[in-house]
């Protein structure tokens, strides 16, 4: 990531969420962001012909914290109940280092 000038890198979770969304769009992957539930907003939902992925992003935190938020708020409920597809929880963490590089970690779990 050192190819990106420092003045365009924003050290916020929503920036990385937006970049992930744009990558999905460029690859032709259907992703919805900020999907409303009765307990909050899901950062992202990716739907494929065979699966639904409920995605939660965290900045500088363990991806397990993202999975715990998905479970605590029961974000996948409507997809488990309505889609008829297997649902996978995805916790993605972005780590921003002072050297202007970004690293990524993720964990997945079946709903």
Query: What's 12's DSSP letter?
Result: S
C-beta separation of 41 from 35 below 8 A: yes
Count of beta carbons in the 10 Å neighbourhood of residue 88: 17
Q: How many helices (H) and strands (E) does the chain have?
A: 3, 5
Q: Output DSSP code: residue 4.
A: S
Strands 87-96 and 52-59: parallel
**pLDDT for the residue 19:** 84
Quick: pLDDT tens for 18-36: 888 899 999 999 999 999 9
- Print the domain residue range for 91: 6-110
Tell me, what's the pLDDT at 18? 85
Query: CB-side exposure of 22: number of CA atoms within 13 Å?
Result: 6
Is 74 inside a domain boundary?
Answer: yes
* 7-23: average pLDDT: 76
Considering the domain boundaries, does residue 1 fall inside one?
no
Q: Specify the number of domains making up the chain.
A: 1
Whether 59 is covered by a domain: the verdict is: yes
Tell whether 67 is covered by a domain: yes
The pLDDT of residue 10? 62
H-assigned helices in the chain: 13-26, 63-72, 77-82
Looking at the domain assignment, is residue 11 inside a domain? Answer: yes
Question: The CATH number of the domain where 22 resides is what?
Answer: 3.40.1350
pLDDT digits (tens, 9 = 90+) for 47-89: 999 999 999 999 889 999 999 999 999 999 999 999 999 999 9
């Amino acid at each position: 990531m050192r190819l990106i000038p420092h003045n365009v890198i924003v050290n916020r979770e929503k920036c990385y969420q937006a970049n992930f969304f744009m990558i999905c769009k460029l690859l032709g992957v259907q992703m919805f962001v900020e999907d409303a539930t009765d307990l909050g907003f899901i950062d992202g939902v990716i739907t494929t012909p065979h699966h639904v992925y409920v995605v939660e992003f965290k900045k500088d935190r363990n991806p397990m914290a993202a999975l715990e938020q998905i479970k605590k708020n029961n974000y996948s409920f409507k997809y488990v109940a309505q889609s008829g597809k297997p649902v996978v929880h995805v916790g993605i963490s972005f780590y921003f280092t002072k050297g202007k590089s970004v690293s990524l970690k993720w964990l997945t779990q079946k709903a």
